[in-house]
């Protein structure tokens, strides 16, 4: 706020600046109102998540009550037990983790190399490639389910985890490259010159100097690849048809949901299990994410 205003209140009382006191008085209640609004909105935004976790712990009787209350006095793990007792839920969880992990690792490495190429080098078709990477982000994934289905069938990947990893890798790459560009660009070129003068090879510069410097950006990018892969249920639904041992979490969730009378306790417990890893991941890296977006917005 206005720096000269901070000194003593006595100066205020004598009021050499007439407009100033007026503003002071008007600002306090306004700020208080704004803060109350902010807290209220925060509660409102957080409420669905709170309700999800709460319902996961509520006993069945309370969930199916006509007068739902926002608390429970008898928390129980029954819903979780039901979820984990469901056929191979743990396995679905592992599958989801495996697919998302593979996509994150592969896309981070491949995108890092590609982003380096388009920011640190000048070559023909560079701008064309960049525009293509941008355009690739607009491709509606769902529309491509049809040709991808036939492609996976033809290479014999249908029903395997590979049929989930490969398409997600392809769909997360363009955005990852586009986003990493800002981070690679931010590394001063002088550093690169210096490395070459010191006799470092191009490979050495790439992995020992550039890679650690760009790592925060890689983390931010990975959040997006992880989330889009973890969240996917369309490919899981379309490509894993007969080999249910290769299904992922969303399918397990839908088992509870897709009926005339959904088992809400089970749905909420499964939702909690599915949301938690993303939430933890997100909160851990959110600072990097926010600064990373600054770079990507460019």
Partner 1 sequence: MSVATGGAKSRPRRTPGPADAGGPPRARPARPGRPTGGARRGGWTPWLYLAPALVVLAGLLVYPVYQLGLISVLDYTQAQVSGGEPTSFQGLGNYAELLGDPQFWNVLLATVVFAAACVLGTMTVGCALAVLLTRVRALPRLLLMLAALGAWATPAITGSTVWVFLFDPDFGPVNRVLGLGDFAWTYGRLSAFALVFFEVVWCSFPLVMVTTYAGIRAVPTEVVEAATLDGASVWRTWRSVLAPLLRPILIVVTIQSVIWDFKVFTQIYVMTGGGGIAKQNLVLNVYAYQKAFASSQYSLGSAIGVVMLLILLSVTLLYLKLLRRNGEEI
Q: Restricting to residues 113-152, which ones interact with partner 1 according to CB under 8 A?
A: 113-114, 116-118, 120-123, 126-127, 129-131, 134-148, 150-151
CA 176 – CA 115 distance, rounded (Å): 9
Among 250, 255, 263, 288, the residue binding partner 1 under the rule CB under 8 A is 250
- Please report how close the Cβ of residue 93 comes to partner 1 at its closest, in angstroms: 13
Residue by residue, DSSP assigns 225-238 as HHHHHHH--HHHHH
Measured CA to CA, the distance from residue 37 to residue 184 in angstroms comes to 40
Report if residue 15 touches partner 1, rule: CB under 8 A.
no
Candidate list 38, 77, 94, 105; residue touching partner 1; CB under 8 A: 38
Nearer to partner 1, 10 or 121 (CB): 121
Closer to partner 1 at the Cβ: 5 or 11? 5
Residues sharing a CB contact under 8 Å with residue 88, sequence separation 6 or more, in sequence order:
244, 245
Of 10 and 147, CB closest to partner 1:
147
By CB under 8 A, tell whether 82 contacts partner 1: no
Q: Give dist(CA 167, CA 157) in Å, integer.
A: 11
The Cα–Cα gap between 244 and 182 comes to 41
CB of 271 to partner 1, least distance (A): 4
253 makes contact with partner 1 (CB under 8 A): yes
Q: Is 26 in the site for partner 1 (CB under 8 A)?
A: no
Position 162 contacts partner 1 (CB under 8 A): no
Give the whole-angstrom CA distance, residue 190 versus residue 120: 12
Q: Which residue in 95, 97, 80 sits closest to 267, CA to CA?
A: 80
Q: Tell me whether residue 10 or residue 60 sits nearer to partner 1 (CB atom).
A: 60
Distance spanning both ends of the chain, measured CA to CA: 29
Cβ closest to partner 1, residue 246 vs residue 281: 281
Binding residue (CB under 8 A) for partner 1 from 41, 77, 105, 243: 41
Q: Which residues contact 274 (CB under 8 A, 6 or more apart)?
A: 96, 230, 249, 250, 253
245 is an interface residue for partner 1 by CB under 8 A = no
Q: Establish if 77 lies at the interface with partner 1 (CB under 8 A).
A: no
Query: Does residue 208 bind partner 1 (CB under 8 A)?
Result: no
Instruction: Find the Cα–Cα–Cα–Cα dihedral 98, 102, 103, 107, rounded to 10°.
Output: 160
Residue 225 interacts with partner 1 (CB under 8 A): yes or no: no
């Amino acid at each position: 706020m206005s720096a000269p205003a901070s000194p003593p209140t006595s100066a205020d009382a004598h009021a050499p600046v007439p407009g100033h006191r007026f503003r002071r008085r008007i600002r306090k209640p306004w700020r208080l109102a704004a803060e109350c609004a902010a807290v209220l909105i925060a509660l409102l935004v957080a409420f669905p998540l709170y309700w999800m976790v709460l319902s996961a712990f509520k006993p069945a009787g309370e969930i199916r009550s006509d007068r739902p209350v926002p608390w429970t006095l008898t928390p129980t793990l029954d819903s979780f037990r039901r979820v984990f007792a469901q056929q191979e839920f743990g396995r679905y969880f592992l599958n989801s983790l495996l697919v998302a992990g593979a996509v994150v690792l592969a896309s981070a490495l491949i995108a890092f190399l590609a982003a380096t190429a388009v920011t640190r080098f000048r070559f023909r078709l560079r701008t064309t490639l960049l525009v293509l990477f941008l355009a690739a982000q607009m491709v509606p994934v769902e529309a491509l389910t049809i040709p991808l289905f036939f492609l996976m069938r033809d290479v014999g990947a249908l029903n395997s985890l590979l049929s989930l990893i490969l398409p997600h890798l392809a769909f997360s790459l363009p955005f990852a490259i586009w986003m990493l560009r800002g981070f690679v660009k931010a590394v001063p070129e002088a550093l690169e010159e210096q490395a070459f003068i010191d006799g470092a090879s191009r490979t050495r510069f790439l992995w020992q100097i550039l890679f650690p410097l760009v790592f925060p950006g890689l983390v931010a990018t990975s959040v997006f690849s992880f989330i889009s892969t973890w969240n996917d249920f369309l490919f899981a639904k379309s490509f894993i048809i007969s080999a249910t041992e290769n299904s992922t979490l969303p399918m397990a969730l839908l088992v509870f949901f897709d009926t005339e009378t959904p088992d809400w306790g089970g749905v909420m417990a499964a939702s909690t299990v599915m949301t938690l890893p993303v939430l933890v991941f997100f909160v851990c890296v959110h600072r990097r994410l926010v600064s990373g977006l600054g770079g990507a917005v460019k």
